[in-house]
Amino acid sequence: MPSEEGILAFLEKCDAFYPADAVDASIGQQREWYNALCAEFSPAHPDGVVTDDFLIDNRIPVRRYRPSRLRTAVRLLYLHGGGFVVGSLDSHDSICAEIADAVGAELTAVDYRLAPEHVWPSQHDDCLAVLRRFVHAGEKVVVIGDSAGGNLAAGLCVRALQEGWSGAIVGQALVYPALGGDLRTGSYEEMAEAPGLSTSDVRYYREVLQAPGDDAVAYPLLAADIEGLPPAFITVARFDPLRDDGRAYAARLARAGVEVWFREEPQMVHAWLRARHMSEGATAGFAALCGAVSHLTGVNTAGERSA
């Protein structure tokens, strides 16, 4: 267990909305609990952020965030977490608004299809369709995702590299990503009963998703050829079974010559993004994420274009 008072208060508040054994409940109940939890940690948007909702390909709901001051033409694509089972445009709404405002970039969030109603590769296909819209329009993109969304973001980069168009993605920011590590070793064993996410939860989400075990897009740690992937920022939480997925992926990217920044939050737990307004560690972690995304877009921390 962490010792930081802010993150402990966050965990106590989460427990009041989302029980530790939530995955044993029906899908409908899981989503009801998750929606209530997310609403509790959803402050108002920063001043000047404008949003609009629309459909891509007449079927994929997206939400676009435009801050009052744009510092870059690079687009941000945000893919939400939730184990591929829960989550929506509303669940990560304030997170997306604050990233767009901090970076000074237009951000698009994707409401991809969820399991178990839609199994793999439905989620990936939806995100890919939105990304390709940007690519076909000649836009440069930074893909961002947390947890399951981090998996999807990393998988999009692997897919783009396989197909020869990864140059359109100028960066990837992965927040406590699920990348397909061995559930019997490392942090999956050490943090099996960590607060907020357990190893058995991760196993449940994998089983619900039904992705083939040898699919490198579904499990990016399996990718054989990663040289040429976009620059990456990867941040993980110390008290999280997914921790070593991010550690291992960052190390592999570095060995392959990919520019990578790795950050481990020593007092954080899974889903700490929601604690950014009540935990010092989460506040610092969120600032680091926004700073890294700014760098990936070519904007320095002073809000100016990098040389």
For residue 179, is pLDDT > 90? yes
**Across 74-84, average pLDDT:** 98
3-state secondary structure of 61: strand
Question: Binning pLDDT at 50, 70 and 90, where does residue 307 land?
Answer: very low
Predicted local confidence at residue 300, as pLDDT: 67
Digit-coded pLDDT (tens) for 94-130 = 999 999 999 999 999 999 999 999 999 999 999 999 9
What residues form DSSP beta bridges with 236? Answer: 264
Predicted local confidence at residue 299, as pLDDT: 82
DSSP state of 125: H
Mean pLDDT over the full length of the chain:
96
Q: Is the peptide bond before 19 cis (omega within 30 degrees of 0)?
A: no
**Across 278-293, average pLDDT:** 98
Any idea which residues carry the catalytic annotation? 147, 240, 270
For residue 193, is pLDDT > 70? yes
Predicted local confidence at residue 180, as pLDDT: 98
Tell me the residue type at 170.
V
Give, for 152, the enclosing helix (H) or strand (E): helix 148-163
pTM beyond 0.85: yes
Give the residue, 1 or 49, on which the prediction is more confident. 49
3-state secondary structure of 305: strand
Q: What percent of the chain shows pLDDT beyond 70?
A: 97
For residue 59, is pLDDT > 90? yes
Question: Binning pLDDT at 50, 70 and 90, where does residue 45 land?
Answer: very high
Give, for 173, the enclosing helix (H) or strand (E): strand 169-175
**Across 223-245, average pLDDT:** 97
Give, for 260, the enclosing helix (H) or strand (E): strand 260-269
Using alpha carbons, select from 133, 117, 154, 298 the residue that is nearest to residue 232: 154
- Domains of the chain with bracketed CATH: 5-297 (3.40.50.1820)
Question: Binning pLDDT at 50, 70 and 90, where does residue 69 land?
Answer: very high
Contact 306, 299 (CB under 8 A): yes
For residue 277, is pLDDT > 50? yes
